[in-house]
Amino acid sequence: MEFDKDLRSIQEVRNLVARAKEAQRSLAELDQAAIDRICCAVAQACADKAEPLAKMAAEETGFGRWQDKVIKNQLGSAMTWEAIRDMRTIGILREDKQRRLMEVAVPVGVVAALIPSTNPTSTAMYKTIISIKAGNAIVISPHPNARNCILETCRVMIQAAKAAGCPDGVIQCISEPSMDGTNALLRHRDVGLILATGGEAMVRAAYSSGNPALGVGPGNGPAYIEKSADIPRAVRDIFASKTFDNGTICASEQSIITEACIHTAVEAELKARGGYFLSPEEADRLSRLILRPNGTMNPVIVGKSALDIARLAGLSVPGDVKVLIAPQKEVKKGNPFLREKLCPILAYFVEDGWQSACERCIQILSIEGVGHTMTIHSEDESVIREFALKKPVSRLLVNTPAALGGVGATTGLQPALTLGCGAVGGSATSDNVGPMNLLNIRRVAWGLKEPEELLGGHAEKRAEPSRVTEKAASTLSREEIESITRAVLARLGR
């Protein structure tokens, strides 16, 4: 009997999880040095194949630039490993002799990893390395539009891991991805944790699966150019970020907010670096392309260049244009320019001062992207601190390209391709997710005090409550109950 694709996918998921569960038990027997050898081998193999895998991803998905995907692959492999290589994640993590506490790492078991089509190979590398570093097996669910490049990435990782002594079945990937298969993975009772990176609907499905999940919300980060900023550097960084892989990193800037006193210089610099300011008519035409009728981002613009997008919208722009810029006056929920746009399109606002700019950033984030990331370009430490105190984001990036700064490539943040948005963004963490997010900690605690010490040393008083048991509670008078209550409260110091 020939089963349809969905049934085959569901059965494959069941088989993969069962195998992963057994493999993880073997992995859990390895010490820190053995785990690190496996992670190092996987990272090295991925780094060695960074270019061919990048080309494969760009060709299969049609998103971005393969040259930039090489850097993403290096981030997901070598840079991730370099950041976590000395991290203690196996066995006893730490001991506190004074407080008589010991902390022991406990792997979550099987990690279900959902991989997006925007960053397919790099995300598969990153999630595999941090999962194994924490002592877990991983089952990867590839986006159907990036299936082949993700399967090839897994083949490279499996081969390297096995050569380094990794048990078979620790790294696996669904070969027939489907919606039903992914749902079966999310809801499988033997999945210890879900790592969800992708669209909002998929992340919501992960959180409603009944299994623990770490997911991310959409990005929609404003970039504020404050009057003290180095304007050429600020514009350079914003454009470097927004054109990196054609804007497919969710931390990338989605709007520019600047001040009236410097807007002429800012606009001149934007134009000099390839920014094209849209007329109201051009902006209206482009706005109809950005979102689909259901309010979600139109996939035809994702990862495309500014010139390609202009052609799709029927716009005539100069051949050297790098970014399309739409001037805005107010924030409205239905405005497509104020949403996440994974391509080189930016909204543009001019405000009277930093207080007004601060409020504008909050308004934009309230539409989409709350809890995620924003950027400030400034040399004024007091303004930077005010933004740090008030902005509803998990990452406030200062004087750096947001796409590369948010994932930890140009900042001191943990290198990561899963960026938590915190409670305000509907996420279970605000971290750049790393190995410590993929394990539990068992705390071993020795007694430091005798019970008598909690009662002020009056051990004999501990026997007094036994008088209550000598007489059925139902036969106690109201006065006796009040007397006993007063005695207990007095003992507790209340």
Catalytic residue among 250, 343, 361, 421: 250
DSSP states of 132-195: HHTT-EEEEEE-GGGHHHHHHHHHHHHHHHHHTTPPTTSEEE-SS--HHHHHHHHH-TT--EEE
Q: Measured between alpha carbons, how far is 402 from 374 in angstroms, rounded to an integer?
A: 7
Q: Which residues contact 7 (CB under 8 A, 6 or more apart)?
A: 180
Nearest alpha carbon to residue 64 among 149, 134, 166, 140: 149
Q: What dihedral do alpha carbons 480, 486, 491, 493 form, nearest 10°?
A: 170
Q: Report the interhelical angle of 179-187 vs 5-27 (nearest 10°).
A: 30
Residue 250 annotated as catalytic: yes
Q: Measured between alpha carbons, how far is 487 from 491 in angstroms, rounded to an integer?
A: 6
Q: How far is CA 125 from CA 17, 130, 364, in A?
A: 19, 9, 33
Q: How far is CA 130 from CA 38, 71, 123, 408, 478, in A?
A: 11, 18, 11, 15, 62
Q: How far is CA 253 from CA 237, 238, 344, 364, 454, in A?
A: 10, 7, 9, 12, 56
Three-state DSSP state, 230:
coil
Q: Which residues are known catalytic residues?
A: 250
